[in-house]
């Protein structure tokens, strides 16, 4: 790689700001070992320590006074996180100690690492692909169990493998088409072209489903409860939460302002939004609440449309946002039903009947046919590349051979971008700019 400044030696505090039991200063690059030799006093020199060993000793300053007592881990290129020579000082974890140890390394010629620069070096050296680097970021930031699991799956290379399968299918078709163009008299059986492409398309579609799930899992999802006054929205919100968050009364128009509550469903952080019952009203306060409810439905990832199952059905006096994901809920299932609609899930907030079915439907809408054990696309960058690959694969299927070949080459390029094998420098910079210093 010809990126500037990649062989110089970088240093940073790798542990979180603040006090902790232990803190780590990490140094990577060609001078890492000589810097360590000058600032670590122990039985032997770090540069002469075999791979996989650590030394116990003292970090020292320019006057050879002790800064702290601690451990020095020695990694030899290419067997390290960055694939360069790496030194780690594990110190007592106070900001005072860590900043002095870092300052000493800088004094001896290291420069401060930029955000994500250690992982950038792992990527540049080929030890990690871009998807794996993004997975490292996910693991560092993982706030939920799902995010953690997806981080490990991404890091394991499972996603890269999936993308590799798709590339193979496209490459195989491209080869068949090229043979056809070169030796038209031989002819290429149609299934050599159509089948792999159909498979590639199906796999890409599935990957894009995982992207939706991934986004839901990392960003969370907003779920609005909408319906006429007294439909049972606040009661259902409370039933889903398992505690009394929202006020419930027999008076229609009880909920006026909207109200949010957090809940985790299938590993997805969900924000439930209770809203004012929608009806035409002369009350200005209530009317404002109704307007807000319609607006909230438009911004939600999923809208639960509630209708009182014990009362005659009546259309809502507003249009629901087009294209929004909707689940229809027939409430008050413990009372005699006044109507039937097979598309609606019957639920009782009083007895809890239908709640498991409703939860399952919500999970299915949020996650699709995606399973939790498979690797998902977890960033918008990945999803964008997969979307472009899909567009080209689709286009190729309805074009004559010479033009189809061009589309397939474009598809392969998009797939290579996905894993980071063929990617613009600004895209790489954008990925690593999200990291913290020391990672
Ligand atoms: N102290 C410490 N803990 C850490 C890290 C670290 O850099 N330092 N990591 C980082 O952020 C993560 C672990 N990731 C790592 C990945 C590869 C190598 C490494 O040295 N790989 C070599 C040698 C492997 C071996 O000896 O078997 C290699 O791949 O060749 C180190 C850490 C999490 N925990
Ligand atoms: N039997 C029965 N009654 C219910 C059920 N859910 C709600 N109710 C009753 O229906 C009435 C209205 O319930 P809410 O949950 O306040 O309805 P809402 O849709 O939030 O109403 P607004 O806030 O006025 O828009 C209350 O008297 C509830 O006790 C249910 O599952 N079964
Ligand atoms: Mg209410």
E strand or H helix at 107:
helix 95-107
Is residue 224 domain-shared with residue 200, that is, in the same domain?
Answer: no
Does residue 281 line the site of ligand 2, with CB under 6 A? no
- Number of domains observed in the structure of the chain: 3
User: For residue range 249-306, what is the model confidence (pLDDT) as tens digits?
Assistant: 999 999 999 999 999 888 788 999 999 999 999 999 999 999 999 999 999 999 999 9
Q: What is the pTM of this model?
A: 0.74
Q: How far is CA 39 from the centre of its chain?
A: 40
User: For residue range 149-205, what is the model confidence (pLDDT) as tens digits?
Assistant: 889 999 999 999 999 999 999 999 999 888 888 887 766 666 677 889 999 999 999
To the question of whether residue 111 is assigned a binding role by annotation, the answer is: no
- DSSP characters for 30-82? TTHHHHHHHHEEESS-GGGSPTT-EEEEEEE-TTS-EEEEEEEEEE-TTSSSS
Q: What is the ipTM of this complex?
A: 0.70
- Please name the residue whose Cα sits nearest to atom 15 of ligand 1: 81
Residue 435 lies in a domain: no
Nearest to 389 by CA among 253, 252, 203: 203
Identify the domain containing residue 158 by its residue range: 140-208+379-430
Query: Is residue 338 within 8 Å of 307, Cβ to Cβ?
Result: no
| Arithmetic mean of pLDDT, 106-112 | 98
* Distance between Cα 223 and ligand 3 center (Å): 15
- DSSP characters for 360-426? HHHHHHHHTT--TTS----SHHHHHHHHHHHHHHHHHHTS-HHHHHHHHHHHHHHHHHHHTSS--HH
Q: Which ligand is nearest to the CA of 244?
A: 2
CATH number of the domain where residue 335 is located: 3.40.50.300
Residue 373 lies in a domain: no
To the question of whether residue 93 is assigned a binding role by annotation, the answer is: no
Is residue 356 domain-shared with residue 420, that is, in the same domain?
Answer: no
Which residue among 314, 337, 367 closes a domain? 367
Neighbours of 177 (CB within 10 A): 20
* Distance between Cα 39 and ligand 1 center (Å): 23
Does residue 220 line the site of ligand 2, with CB under 6 A? no
């Amino acid at each position: 790689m010809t990126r500037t400044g990649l062989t110089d030696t970088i240093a940073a505090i790798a542990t979180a700001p603040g006090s902790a039991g232990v803190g780590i200063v990490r140094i990577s690059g060609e001078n890492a070992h000589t810097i360590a030799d000058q600032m670590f006093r122990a039985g032997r020199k770090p540069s002469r320590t075999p791979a996989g060993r650590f030394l116990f000793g003292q970090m020292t300053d320019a006057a050879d006074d002790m800064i702290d007592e601690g451990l020095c881990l020695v990694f030899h290129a290419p067997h390290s996180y960055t694939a360069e020579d790496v030194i780690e000082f594990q110190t007592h974890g106070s900001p005072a100690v860590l900043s002095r140890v870092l300052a000493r390394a800088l004094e001896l010629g290291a420069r401060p690492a930029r955000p994500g620069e250690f992982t950038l070096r792992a990527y540049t050296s080929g030890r990690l692909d871009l998807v794996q680097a993004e997975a490292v970021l996910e693991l560092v930031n993982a706030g939920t169990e799902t995010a953690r699991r997806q981080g490990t799956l991404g890091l394991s290379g499972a996603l890269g493998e999936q993308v590799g399968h798709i590339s193979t299918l496209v490459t195989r078709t491209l080869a068949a088409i090229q043979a056809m163009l070169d030796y038209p008299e031989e002819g290429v059986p149609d299934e050599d072209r159509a089948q792999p492409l159909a498979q590639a398309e199906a796999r890409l579609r599935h990957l894009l489903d995982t992207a939706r799930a991934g986004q839901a899992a990392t960003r969370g999802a907003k779920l609005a409860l909408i319906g006429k006054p007294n439909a049972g929205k606040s009661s259902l919100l409370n039933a889903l939460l398992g505690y009394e968050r929202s006020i419930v009364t027999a008076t229609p128009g009880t909920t006026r302002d909207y109200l949010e509550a957090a809940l985790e469903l299938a590993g997805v952080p969900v924000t439930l939004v209770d809203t004012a019952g929608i009806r035409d009203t002369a009350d200005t306060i209530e009317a404002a609440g109704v307007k807000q409810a319609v607006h909230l439905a438009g911004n939600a990832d999923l809208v639960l449309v509630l209708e009182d199952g014990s009362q005659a059905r009546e259309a809502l006096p507003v249009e629901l946002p087009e294209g929004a994901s909707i689940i229809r809920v027939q409430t008050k299932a413990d009372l005699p039903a006044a109507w039937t609609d097979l598309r609606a899930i019957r639920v009782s907030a009083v007895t809890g009947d239908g709640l498991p079915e409703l939860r399952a439907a919500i999970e299915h809408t949020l996650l699709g046919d995606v399973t939790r054990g498979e690797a998902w696309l977890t960033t918008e960058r990945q999803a964008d590349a997969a979307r472009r690959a899909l567009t080209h694969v689709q286009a190729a299927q309805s074009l004559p051979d010479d033009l189809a070949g061009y589309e397939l080459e474009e598809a392969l390029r998009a797939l290579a971008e996905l894993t980071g094998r063929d990617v613009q420098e600004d895209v790489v910079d954008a990925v690593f700019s999200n990291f913290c210093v020391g990672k």
